[in-house]
Amino acid sequence: MSVKELFQLDGRIALVTGGSRGLGLQMAEALGELGCKVVISARKANELAEAEAHLRGRGIEAKAVVCDLQKFDRIPALVDEVLSAHGRVDILVNNAGATWGAPAEDYPDEAWHKVMNLNVNAPFFLTREIGKRSMIPRRSGKIVNIASIAGLKGMSRGVNTIAYNTSKAAMIHFTRALATEWGHYGIHVNAICPGFFPSKMTADVLDAVGEQVIARTPLQRLGGDEDLKGALAYFASDASQHVTGQYLAIDGGMTAT
């Protein structure tokens, strides 16, 4: 098999959560460009419809499914709809997430539970459902968890995101634990840890510390629209057939300093 063939995903079925905008939509584009039939899910129907039209405008076969992953009882219905449309899920990208800023001593219970529910609990429940109903029976699957460099370290001065950092550290270890448990089924589980990318979620933080972030980054810039696509293509394709339980920081070198 040629190197180009290793990266081809023709006809595979991918589900990307949080796929209506930002990094999720960029990753859906990447999978679609490599040949996937892409299903994107998110909470807001209007944003999903726009994203679906955007993907189809690029020649990508796309389907949008509205689902609020914080409502755990709706996760089986999301999987029902994907399996009804395509029969299986080959690639799952757990991207949907949330953050909340507040000093630890004043952190609201509601905020803690929101971040943990969307960043840790929902990905587990969704992955369990897809594993049980599609990947394990077929003895095949690629799961890519979108963690963060925030899960690899503490917080910068002036940034109070303890729940987010904790949840992303949990996602990294979830990746490693599940990879060891499901490896014998032929299921690969890896994680991508983005650094700072401009997005709706990071806007407030970058307004406060963006210049310092760039100054501390060896490549002297923030992440761009194309910067996650190559890593996702690697983890989602046959190019990574002997790789599981790993995480890759896409951060311009920040965690190397």
- Report the pLDDT value the prediction gives residue 215, as an integer from 0 to 100: 83
- The secondary structure of the chain in percent helix, strand, coil, rounded to multiples of 5, reads 50, 15, 35
Taking only Cα atoms into account, the Rg of the chain, rounded to an integer number of angstroms, comes to 17
CA distance 86 to 50: 22
Structure tokens at 120: 């840790």
Dihedral, CA of residue 168, residue 109, residue 44 and residue 51, to nearest 10: -20
What pLDDT is recorded for position 80? 98
Q: Which pair of tokens denotes residue 160?
A: 């109070």
Element (H, E) at 185: none
Name the residues annotated as catalytic: 164
DSSP string, 111-172: HHHHHHIIIIIHHHHHHHHHIIIIIHHHT-EEEEEE--GGGTS---TT---HHHHHHHHHHH
Q: Note the pLDDT tens digit of each residue in 69-90.
A: 999 999 999 999 999 999 999 9
Please provide residue 51's backbone torsions phi and psi, each rounded to the nearest 5 degrees: -65, -40
Residue bearing tokens 């098999």 = 1
Domains of the chain are 3-250 (3.40.50.720)
The reported pLDDT for the residue numbered 201 is 62
Residues 144 and 92: their CA atoms lie apart, in Å, by 6
Phi, psi of 170, rounded to the nearest 5 degrees:
-60, -40
Q: How far apart are CA 240 and CA 199, in angstroms?
A: 28
CB contact at 8 A, 153 and 253: no
Closest listed residue to residue 238, CA positions, set 81, 18, 34, 25 = 34
Give me the sign of the Cα torsion angle 28, 242, 169, 131: positive
Look at residue 206 in the predicted model and tell me its pLDDT.
Answer: 61
What does the angle CA 16 – CA 22 – CA 23 come to, to the nearest 5 degrees?
55
Running along the chain, 257 residues long, what does each successive block of 10 average in pLDDT? 94 97 96 98 97 98 97 98 98 96 95 98 98 98 97 82 96 98 98 85 61 84 91 98 98 91
